[in-house]
Amino acid sequence: MGRFTFQTFKIRISNMLITAAALLFLSQTQAADKPELTVYTYDSFISEWGPGPQLQKAFEANCECSLKFIAVEDGVSILNRTRIEGKKTKADVLLGLDNALIETTRQLGLVQQHNTNLSGLSAHLNWSDKHFVPFDYGYFAFIYDSNKTPVPVTSLEELIQSDAQVIYQDPRTSTPGQGFMTWMKAVYGDNAPAQWQKLAGHTVTVTKGWWEAYSMFLEGGSDYVLSYTTSPAYHLIAEGKSQYKAALFKEGHIAQTEVAAISRYSDQPELANQFLSFLISPEAQKIIPVTNWMLPVIDHAELPEAFDQLIQPETIGFTPEQLASNRNQWLREWRQAASQ
Amino acid sequence: MTHISDSRWLKSAAVVAYSLVILITTLAFYGLIGFDGAHLQVGLLTDPYILQILSFSLKQAGLSALLSVALALPVARALHFMPQLVAKKAFLSLCLLSFVMPTLVLITGLVSLMGRTGLITPILPNDWNLYGLNGILIAHIYLNTPLAIRVLSQQMAHIPDTSWRLARQLRFSRWQQFTHVEWPAIKPSLLMLLGFIFVLCFNSFAVVLALGGGPGSTTLEVAIYQALKYDFNLSEALTLAWLQFTLAGLIFALIARMGKLNWLSADTSSQRWQPVLGRRSQHLHRIFYYLSWGALLLPLLALLPTVSEAKLSNIDLPGLLQAAFFSLLLGFAAAILAMLLAWLLLIPIRRASLNRLENQRVVLQWLATHTLVAPAMVLSTGLYILLLPRIDLDHWGMCWLIFINSVLLLPFVIAQLKPRLLQFDLQYGRLSANLKLSISDHFSVIWPFIRSVTKGSFALALLLALGDVAVFSIFGNNTFATLPWLIYGYAGSYRMAEAALASLLLLAICALLVFIFERHQKTQTATSASDKMTRTPKND
């Protein structure tokens, strides 16, 4: 390759960079005349059948602004992205973190306090967080096909002792998986490893994410699959199928609350607050349950009948602080016990 | 002796190409190290869980490689010894399709075939469980045995007629024929294949995640993903990445050292003289052949019942077509870039090869194709971390997506292009150098010679690029959703039948491309036959 020098190479590279920078500059000067609110969220939220498009239309009708969603893979990717971007982030609002991520996000200083009025939230949520506003919640539950399993198990204990085929998600890569890990700790405490081992004996597989598990179950891959209490509502409303049901467990269920917060580096906190208030308004709360398939956070939200038939579990679990500080230890315990 | 690489302009272009591929890996690692002061954690290497992952990664990759090659050998021999087999060409195309099949599609097929309620599960043993080592091995064997079949049968075709004649004159037994005639011909490819398949399986990600069945069967690549994604533990990811890079890199360096893999291309020799097989042996070979037809087709056929459940009225046809269009568009861009880079990267390699500078050739080749061993997860995440605060990725993400994909395609494109270019150098290199051709004349001389292999490699690159989900999940943009991405989207919102239909569309596009690819290979065989007239007696 001989005579070609590093100097020439440097010139080439710098020419390329100049061109790139020029193009970048051009694309950024196309500023909108209305203020723009940038919301980071996860992919399925803004898919055409997700809540995003309808929420955008409803919010833009009144805000004199334009709402821009930027979607990443999932809740934890929202956290990672804002963390990597630091103060250069474009986000005004982070939408789609959950109670397991709240504490880490707060400790990293990525969000600022909101001034949204929370009095409209359902009393049972008992919500008073200064940084995060809940926009939907759901209980983790095991779903079964009542045509195949006429008499379901009635407790976590019964499920573990049974020989029913179970599919759940990996707690290292999936939110329901993490929820299940929390569930096991809430019910069994230090005794969880022995129970994990027992469950491993009749676990078909542990999948990376929710849909792999759920689609395998729908294709007959197991008797039970870990999902949400709201899953049967989807089948009833969208498919008219009533055989899929959630098993109600005596020990109580773990709830996942999805939250939104204002980025610490947002330059339009007022508009962001307006959006948070909109999220818990009756108008938005009517849209979210039937598009994101979760439960509304306000009482008397307008819902299809199918939601009345869902099971109403007791809530058990841990605070966000407890979740954040114990998570790694619990994960190690799980991978040790379940890999044997 | 002068060579094409003596052109100043091309020399600089080649240096830029090398700089780019090296830079991309360096920047990725720099991205990981530069954020939050991540560092190597040597202590992790003695952690029992990590050791377990490491031994599982090695075990499954070793088994996958051995089994794939062992299963391929009898089929390759059947293809070679029995030219009268029915639909041989179609079989070879099916082999290629299996090798490039998007793992997402394969996994769906395997689950509907032998998952718990699979089509053939009733005839499997009672305690059958697809998930775990079983599933991982089956999927890896499905993906890699076809590659081995193609390479080995081609290698067998290289055995000179004189060897067979001699074997007959010496009245060799079947076994002696195998050990004295066949084995020496296939041994280098066999070792190379073992290494290549080992590296592919060692870095396996989607298959292991989907069919692993739990924390017991985790590979390093999966562990890196988990460390990066959920724990955001950059130090752990970095340590595991180096571990993987070193191990896979060592194995890969051995491969490069061992020599030449003349793989997917249909090659130059045509069969003239064949040993005659006994009747029983013919039957046996026929059985191997038809069994592998069945094994390759079953997972695809198993997809059909799920699709038939899809209500056609529910299907968003424009959305599907748009996604197919974007997939092809991005695939085309990545494949073109990969071809260009590969061609430039090969210039110094060809030169080293021509001048018999073995060590230089091995080092250059390793650099050019090192993305085969660099964990793809680390490349994309490392660059993401580095670029995100510096560049507007919402605007520029697609460019990086294309660039990263093209770099990941390089090992495959180079393996494909290299033999043909080396062949050209040997046959016409001296002549064209003596004629002192200009660059454009040089191109017009070389083009007819490499036209078909170029089109073929392009199709291969495009096929492989079509399956990408990993890089898209990081750099992609929902406005340009590709087919695999749409499949995830559908499946993620309870739309399984639509997901199956989209999978089938993706598979159909792949099949069509394979068809085109094979057509070009055929024309190549035709031209090669005429090359033979001018060919030097021994060229590899």
Can you read off the two tokens belonging to residue B435?
């004629």
Q: Which residue of B has its CA nearest to A167?
A: B213
A77 with A115, same domain? yes
Please give the pLDDT value at position A28. 45
pLDDT band (50, 70, 90) for residue B314: low
Q: What is the mean pLDDT of residues A10-38?
A: 55
Taking only the tens place, the pLDDT of each residue in B53-71 is 899 999 999 999 999 999 9
What contacts B126, CB < 8 A, 6 or more positions away?
none
In a domain, A224, yes or no: yes
Whether the pLDDT of residue A338 is over 70: the answer is yes
* pTM, two decimal places: 0.81
Crossing angle for the helix pair A75-85 and B220-229, nearest 10 degrees? 70
- Mean local confidence (pLDDT), B240-266: 72
Beta-carbon separation of B394 and A12 below 8 A: no
The per-residue pLDDT for B267 is: 47
Residue A276 sits in the same domain as residue A186? no
How far is Cα B222 from Cα B236, in angstroms, rounded to an integer?
12
Q: Between residues A119 and B489, which one has the greater pLDDT?
A: A119
Residues B463, B464, B465, B466: is their CA dihedral positive or negative?
positive
Question: B437 pLDDT exceeds 90?
Answer: no
Calculate the dihedral angle through the C-alpha atoms of A180, A182, A186, A187, rounding to the nearest 10 degrees: 20
Q: Is the pLDDT of residue A252 over 60?
A: yes
Q: Which residue is closest to A178 within chain B, CA to CA?
A: B230
Q: What pLDDT does A54 receive?
A: 95
Report whether pLDDT(B131) > 80.
Answer: yes
Other beta carbons less than 10 A from residue B157's beta carbon: 17
Based on its alpha-carbon atoms, the radius of gyration of chain A, rounded to whole angstroms, reads: 23
Structure tokens at B539: 């060229």
Q: What is the pLDDT of residues B145-169, one digit of tens each?
A: 999 998 888 778 777 778 888 888 8
Per-residue pLDDT band at A10 (split at 50, 70, 90) = very low
**In chain B, what residues touch A12 (CB-CB under 8 Å)?**
12, 16
Phi-psi map region of B220: left, alpha, beta (phi>0 left; psi -120 to 50 alpha): alpha
Query: For position B450, what pLDDT does the model report?
Result: 82
User: Which residues in chain B (207-236) have CB-CB distances under 8 A to chain A?
Assistant: 209-216, 225-226, 229-232
Considering the domain architecture, whether residues A194 and A334 belong to the same structural domain is answered as: yes
Among B233, B388, B392, B475, the strongest candidate for a mutation testing the A interface, having the largest count of A CBs within 10 A, is B388
DSSP letters, B148-192, are HHHHHHHHHHTS-HHHHHHHHHTT--HHHHIIIIIHHHHHHHHHH
Contact A218 B496 (CB under 8 A): yes
CB contact under 8 A, A43 and B478: yes
Q: How confident is the model at residue B491 (pLDDT cuts 50, 70, 90)?
A: low
Please measure the distance between the N-terminal and C-terminal CA atoms of chain A and give it in whole angstroms. 55
Same-domain check for residues A144 and A250: yes
CA B484 to chain centroid: 18
The confidence band for A122, taking pLDDT boundaries of 50, 70 and 90, is: very high
The beta-strand segments (E) located in chain A are: 36-42, 66-72, 93-98, 111-112, 132-145, 166-169, 203-207, 224-228, 244-247, 253-263, 315-316
- A151 lies in the same domain as A72: no
Q: For residue B258, what pLDDT band results from cuts at 50, 70 and 90?
A: low
Select the highest-mean-pLDDT range: A227-231, A305-309, B297-301.
A227-231
Identify the residue whose tokens are 């294949």: B193
Among A219, A241, A265, most B C-beta atoms within 10 A, so best to mutate, is: A219
Residue A145's pLDDT is what? 96
> Is residue B262 scored above 60 in pLDDT?
no
8 Å CB contact of A49 and B493: yes
Closest CA–CA distance from residue B129 to any residue of chain A (Å): 8
Nearby residues of B478 by Cβ (< 8 Å), 6 or more positions away: A43, A46, A47, A71
Residue A11 falls inside a structural domain = no
On whether both A223 and A276 belong to a single domain, the answer is no
Q: Is B311 on the interface with A (CB under 8 A)?
A: no
Name the most confidently modeled range: A16-25, A309-318, B235-244, B444-453.
A309-318
Per-residue pLDDT tens over the stretch B4-57: 556 778 888 999 999 999 999 999 988 888 787 777 888 878 888 888 889 999
Instruction: Please report whether residue A12 resides in a domain.
Output: no
Q: Count CB neighbours of B381 within 10 A.
A: 25
The whole-number pLDDT of residue A77 equals: 86
Do the Cβ atoms of B216 and A203 come within 8 Å? Answer: no
Q: What is the CA radius of gyration of chain B?
A: 24
CA A65, CA A76: separation in Å to the nearest integer?
A: 28
Clarify whether residues A74 and A171 are in a common domain. Answer: no
Taking CA–CA distances from A213, the nearest residue in chain B reads B210
Asked if A43 lies within 8 A of B395 by C-beta distance, the reply is no
- List the single residue in B116, B209, B489 with the smallest CB-CB distance to A43: B489
Domains of chain B: 1-34+316-528 (1.10.3720.10), 40-308 (1.10.3720.10)
Give dist(CA B39, CA B210) in Å, integer: 30
φ/ψ (deg, to 5) at A207: -100, 165
**Distance separating alpha carbons of residues B119 and A220, to the nearest angstrom:** 12
B527-533 average pLDDT score: 39
Test A9 with B19 for CB contact under 8 angstroms: yes
Q: Do B215 and A1 touch (CB under 8 A)?
A: no
Q: Which of A19-23, A52-56, A278-282, B308-312 is least confident?
A: A19-23
| A-contacting residues in B 441-480 (Cβ below 8 Å) | 473-474, 478
Look at B191 and B535; give whichever has higher pLDDT: B191
Determine the pLDDT at residue A251: 96
What's residue B274's pLDDT?
66
Which pLDDT score is estimated for B83?
Answer: 79
pLDDT at A279: 96
- Cα distance between residue A51 and residue A288, in whole Å: 6
User: How much of chain B exceeds pLDDT 90, in percent?
Assistant: 21
DSSP letter at B256 equals H
Which among B103, B170, B100, B167 is positioned nearest to B138, based on CA atoms? B103
β-pair type (A36-42, A93-98): parallel
Task: Tell me what the mean pLDDT of segment A244-262 comes to.
Answer: 96
Give dist(CA B93, CA B81) in Å, integer: 19
Predicted pLDDT at B302: 84
pLDDT grade, residue A119 (50/70/90)? very high
CB contact under 8 A, A27 and B395: yes
Average pLDDT over residues A21-33: 48
Distance CA(A222)–CA(A144), nearest Å, equals 9
Structurally, how many domains does chain A consist of? 2
Residue A297 lies in a domain: yes
Q: Is residue A47 part of a domain?
A: yes
Same domain, A124 and A241: no
Instruction: Report the mean per-residue pLDDT for chain A.
Output: 87
Contact between B449 and B420 (Cβ < 8 Å): yes
Domain identity same for A208 and A321: yes
Q: Which of residues B160 and A189 earns the better pLDDT score? A: A189
Q: Which domain covers residue A280, as residue numbers?
A: 36-136+256-309
Average pLDDT (A275-302) is 94
| Type and span of the H or E element at B446 | helix B439-466
pLDDT at B4: 53
Cα-flanking dihedrals φ and ψ of residue B103, to 5°? -60, -35
| Top-confidence range, A141-145, B266-270, B367-371 | A141-145
In a domain, A54, yes or no: yes
Q: How many CA atoms lie within 13 A of B101 on its CB side?
A: 32
A25, pLDDT greater than 50: no
Q: Do A263 and A251 sit in the same domain of this protein?
A: no
Choose from A66-80, B28-42, B440-454 the range with maximum mean pLDDT. A66-80
Contacts of A286 (CB under 8 A, 6+ apart): A296, A301, A302, A303
Cβ contacts of A170 on chain B, cutoff 8 Å = 214-215
Within a 10 A sphere around the Cβ of A159, how many other Cβ atoms?
19
> Are A174 and A240 within one domain?
yes
My answer on whether A167 and A223 are in the same domain is yes
* Total count of residues recorded for chain B: 540
Q: What distance in Å separates residue B138's CA from the closest CA in chain A?
A: 16
pLDDT tens digits, residue range B92-123? Answer: 889 989 988 888 788 888 887 887 777 888 88
Name the pLDDT band for A3 (thresholds 50, 70, 90). very low
**Which residues is A136 bridged to in the sheet?**
A258
Token digits for A135? 């926009």
The answer to whether position A5 is within a domain reads no
Q: What share of residues in chain A are helix, strand, coil (percent, to 5)?
A: 45, 20, 30
Question: CB–CB of B225 and A44 under 8 A?
Answer: no
Q: Name the residue in chain A with its Cα closest to that of B488.
A: A211
User: What is the rounded distance in angstroms from the CA atom of residue B209 to the CA atom of residue B201?
Assistant: 13
Tell whether the model's pLDDT for residue B275 goes beyond 70.
Answer: no
A6, pLDDT greater than 50: no
> Does residue A9 register a pLDDT over 50?
no
Task: Please tell me the distance from the alpha carbon of residue B305 to that of residue B296, in angstroms, as a whole number.
Answer: 17
Contact A168, A214 (CB under 8 A): no
Question: A144 has which bridge partners?
Answer: A245
Q: Are B248 and B138 in contact (CB under 8 A)?
A: no
With an 8 Å Cβ cutoff, are A204 and B131 in contact?
Answer: yes
- The minimum CA-CA distance between A9 and chain B, rounded to whole Å, is 7
Q: Which among B19, B117, B394 has the least Cβ separation from residue A219?
A: B117
A220: nearest CB among B8, B117, B391 = B117
Residue A72 pLDDT level (bands cut at 50, 70, 90): confident
pLDDT score, position B107: 84
Q: B232 and A28: CB-CB below 8 Å?
A: no
**Residue B310: predicted pLDDT:** 61
Cα A274 to chain centroid distance, Å, stands at 22
Average pLDDT, chain B: 82
Contact B348 A335 (CB under 8 A): no
Cβ neighbours of A27 in B, within 8 Å: 392, 395
Q: Does residue A273 register a pLDDT over 60?
A: yes
Identify all chain A residues contacting B494, using CB atoms and an 8 Å cutoff. Answer: 214, 234-235, 238, 293
Domain CATH for A319: 3.40.190.10
Q: Is residue A19 part of a domain?
A: no
